[in-house]
Amino acid sequence: MERFAGRVAVVTGASSGIGACIASDLAKAGMVVVGVARRKDRLQDLAASLKACGATGRLEAVQADLSSVEEVRRVFQWVEDNLGAVSVLVNNAAILLQKPIQDLDATDIQSLVTTNVTTVLIGCKEAINSMKKHDIKDGHIITINSVAGHVVINNPLVSVSAYTTSKHAITALCKSLRFDVQRIPGFKIRVTSLSPGTVSTDMVPAEFQAVLPPDMLLRAADVSNAVLYALSCPAAVEITELTIQPTGEALEPTAEWQSVGRRHFLAMERFAGRVAVVTGASSGIGACIASDLAKAGMVVVGVARRKDRLQDLAASLKACGATGRLEAVQADLSSVEEVRRVFQWVEDNLGGVSVLVNNAAIAIQKSVQDMDLADIQSIVATNVTSVTVGCKEAIESMKKHGIKDGHIININSVAGHVVINTPHLSISLYSATKHAITALCKGLRFDVQRIAGFKIRVTSLSPGAVDTDMVPEEFAKTLPPDMLLRPADISNGVLYALSCPSSVEITELTIQPTGEAF
């Protein structure tokens, strides 16, 4: 976060809950935070507490009614007159009216739409204009969305149809805004949609909170930690959509998301000495993940065809003094029998699996009509069948050994969420298999929720283009140097998802090169 020290962040809805937590964390990270809300007394109290605790940044309290376009413009004019450029905007303010649509009057509807949509749009416009005026080329806009921005929630205890409508608009806004800012020459403004599940704040109706177990509510700090993670990624790395939910929340969601600095990772210590299986671990993303998990103290079972490379990685980890280790297991991951053999080896030699990272995949650079049967069978077997079998085997191991906080992370792809059409890539079948993984992750979450007494987490991690051998050379040549992620960027995403408290589940994390045109 060092590059943001002394720079200005505007945080709306900053007087309580999520907004207050975000404002506080950004000030402690050294930023000048403009906290905006109706309740100025609360903002002033927060500013005083930050000063008293020795925060390296500070909070400026600005009172405004965020259902008014004129008030939003006034806030940004105040920033211009008193502080100068905006580097970060966190659109957090929103209202939720607990009524079915037919019971809302016109004033209710106008207030909700203006606060949740119109003034968010105006805030984005004003922030971008400030960034352009002051040449802030690495600005960042983070909009606090909701899982209700991706699914329609039907629950007898909550009537949130109008709120859901407004949050679906925010999902579309974030996607469209990314393309708009890509057209500003010379700028790399990042846009993140951060979609929490149910958070313990005043916004959640008391009768709904009352029926939930204590660990089925996120804390405001969980959402703020996600903001720090997104901001802390290198300027060339854009967390486009990040969905964070209580582990086991029974909503059907989606989400897209130099490292955070390990200080932001919450708790890898609980995994020390435990077993992680990482497939495709001989090179690229898999080797980086395997290495980072071993350095975090885990016993990593690295699985790949090229055993010599796995052994070299194991030796290098030992030589550098990693607190964990890597066990090299050779396997052909297009074979179901080989996948089962890997998990039997783990059972016989190490015991229970705590973490599975399904990273192995293949992309055949041919159109579907030019593929032969062997191509098709190979890609489907590796990218879908063996991944599914691996999930099954890992869950059975967790159940057998009483590993109640196990975690399955599937390395998906942005091609699992959109169909990519570019003359330099023919990846129709790869995209089909990755869409299957998107559905697998969502379905698997519901399956493991039905295992009594267990809180097994499932994460879909969807990178854009990464600098590995999988990216065709002719496609890579068409990209600027900073338009490819590094394997370390993906591994940092894995560490972030794992490190969250066991009651917090990163269900979908999409990581893209800043400005990637998908």
Catalytic machinery residues: 430
Residue 19 phi, psi dihedral angles, 5° rounding: -60, -45
What single string gives the DSSP state of each residue in 200-244? SSTTS-HHHHHTS-GGGSB-HHHHHHHHHHHHHS-TTEEEEEEEE
> How are beta strands 504-513 and 237-246 bridged, if at all?
antiparallel
Tokens of 397: 């191991």
Nearest to 205 by CA among 171, 156, 147: 156
Instruction: Determine the Cα–Cα distance for residues 14 and 44; give it in Å rounded to an integer.
Output: 11
Nearest to 26 by CA among 76, 95, 87, 94: 87
Sorted by sequence, the CB contacts under 8 Å of residue 313 that are 6+ apart come out as 281, 282, 287, 290, 291, 302, 326, 328
Residue 280 phi, psi dihedral angles, 5° rounding: 60, 40
Sorted by sequence, the CB contacts under 8 Å of residue 497 that are 6+ apart come out as 407, 409, 457, 459, 461, 506, 509
DSSP state of 90: E
